[in-house]
Amino acid sequence: MKIIAALLFFINLMAQEQYSFRAAYGIASQSDFGEIISANNENHVKDLSVFALDGGYLLSHNTFELPIDIYLKGGVAFFDESSVSKNDIYEGLLYIKAYWNFEFLDNRIRLGLGDGLSYTSEILYIEKEEALAKEDTTSNLLNYMDVSLDFDFGRLISYKPLHDTYVGWAIKHRSGVYGLFNDVKNGGSNYNTFYIEKSF
């Protein structure tokens, strides 16, 4: 039975042929995840930024007959910490992301929520800083969350070749989920990012 389920899953992957690609740039926040969500954000005092590239594969369209698309995503990121360190820091990501699609004034707006794993080549400055302040541990491997809001730029300007080209904002969040990941109870990082994403 497991073999049949796995076979159907892979046939479903091959049949859809729908992908996404995202380029994002962002800056570090001193605010925690909840504060950012409630629009109470304060940028970090240091010049800390990130550039990230993500690719996705559509696993499910209109999931449960709801306007929800689910993607398997992977990505890489470069953290510019030249203001505090001589070493470059890189990140690898693997996560699942769901988009809730809203049709609004002849446009499409998407609310996205992703969850998975993040591995960094070194510990980020903001995570070291928080761990020191809260007497917590740090880890290269942490839980990754991605919360986003975007709109279809192509539909906005009524230019069909750019349909399914989304412009938006996302929180790039790493944390230990209160100790579930490598005993990191309070440490983590948040980056506010702006991005362009193309579905094709």
Confidence label for 15 from pLDDT (cuts 50, 70 and 90): very low
State the pairing for strand pair 68-80/49-60: antiparallel
CB 152 within 8 A of CB 107: yes
Task: Please tell me the pTM assigned to this model.
Answer: 0.87
Please tell me the predicted confidence (pLDDT) of residue 4.
47
Q: What is the mean pLDDT of residues 74-82?
A: 96
Ordered structural domains, the chain, with CATH: 18-199 (2.40.160.20)
- pLDDT(91) > 50: yes
d(CA 121, CA 23): 20
Please tell me the predicted confidence (pLDDT) of residue 136.
82
Encode pLDDT of 140-178 as tens digits: 999 999 999 999 999 999 999 999 999 999 999 999 887
The Cβ-side half-sphere exposure at 134, using a 13 Å CA radius, reads: 15
Encode pLDDT of 102-143 as tens digits: 998 889 999 999 999 999 999 999 999 988 888 788 899 999
Of 187, 172, 134, 169, which Cα lies nearest the Cα of 28? 172
Please tell me the predicted confidence (pLDDT) of residue 17.
55
The secondary structure of the chain, three-state, reads CHHHHHHHHHHHHHHHCCEEEEEEEEEEECCCHHHHHCCCCCECCCCCEEEEEEEEEEEECCHHHCCEEEEEEEEEEEEECCCCCCCCEEEEEEEEEEEEEEEECCEEEEEEEEEEEEEECCCCHHHHHHHHHCCCCCCCEEEEEEEEEEEEHHHHCCCHHHCCEEEEEEEEEEECCCCCCCCCCCCEEEEEEEEEEEEC
Please tell me the predicted confidence (pLDDT) of residue 2.
52
Q: What is the mean pLDDT of residues 182-191?
A: 85
Alpha carbon 154 to chain centroid, angstroms? 22
Encode pLDDT of 40-71 as tens digits: 888 888 999 999 999 999 999 999 999 999 99
Alpha carbon 40 to chain centroid, angstroms? 20
Please tell me the predicted confidence (pLDDT) of residue 3.
54
